[in-house]
Chains A and B, each alone.
Chain A
């Protein structure tokens, strides 16, 4: 079985701090991480591989050259091949263009299954998995919270999706694009100590537009159909807070506030 994991290296947005008093987002010194949902997808692929020795796993990502160390770390796990799609011409590509670029590369590779995350921390549009699937003429499913490894072969996959009020088990024919949710809890193994510095350049391929051959106006912000015109922070209304202690006086103050506001009925 051949699995390709399409992943993204994203800023760890949970570490952004927000200053409500001044309504500013503090974005300095932000760590880059493997998108959490994508980590579950790769962990899922490695679980399949552990059970099926002839299985191969390729990791594909698109991004600036600075993602290289992150991909190298993934190649120090039991992955077979890593591919970074990177070209200055791709900068500013929206989801429409990005999925086109990824699909053009993927269409040159043999695979039985594409695994991705469902949501990315930074963009959070969830467009790419569905759009890659559409480009390649495949079905796709988002929000997968469990995979049934007993019923998982080159012809079909069985998996669960958790909704607000229910958990549904589905079967889908392969090849297809399956998108994992971090609720699945699949965790990447740690890199073995002796592999920390392992040279993995032999497993890594960098692909640029020379190979994919898009015309200048087709990609990047120029080729995109949506464009971010500006960004701004939301204005949160700060309130005139009263500061109290949890002592008798403070509790009485809170109690009276609740009484005045009508939250306490006899």
Chain B
């Protein structure tokens, strides 16, 4: 009788985690920064995964002059430092806030996500760019450099269909940007195909949206196509990169790429070496055309305990707005995480 009585009871564990990151940074471009993010994420009943992140960040610039002309509608300080994965707008903003559910019937992969999320294009996850070893986003992924920003947010739905080795992810949404470059309202769409084999993960993406610049001269739609690849070797070497081509409005074009390398081998302890080479070419009627190249050497140190240090040296040239041709950027991040496990019983 006891067994029968308990056979209808299902134990269900719900895990909820909270994270807090506190960051302070300084750049040789005479810019200081502070930022904080708080996240709440976990599994609700029925294995629905949820994620909410709020962020605040602010920067203060010294007297160093900006080289080149500042771009309209973008960062007033005139540099992308510390903009890797979160905006530094001086306001508290809700970044991603979504719920998603994945089904894995017979080895297939089906997923649906609803809410606010980063544009599912290329290498786009927060942790791919924030605290990964680089203190700046790739040139092609920064607000206002005529590419596709890491910080652009969509409000809508994504569907994922396929299998872990090969799947398609499509989204329909409206823009909800919280950084400096805010796209005009409209219907956004993106589609991404990702494959995985051996040590390689490769994908191709396409996204359409409205431009972020004024409709007085930025007419038409922005559209970008991209290819991305990641490779990892068991010796502790990783590489990844993206190629982007498209236009942020009619009559212009943006072409760019970046390649990141990471080295973290036994004996290096908490140190990870990071290297990035990148290029951006923006063609537009004179005198608006721009181009830039940048090389970044850096390290990330996972200090014992909750502190992560990042140090970057970069050398850049071109005519995108920037403050110095050489820069040394540094940040320290303190992170804490709390996990809560709830077990509930349901009688059927």
A binds B: no
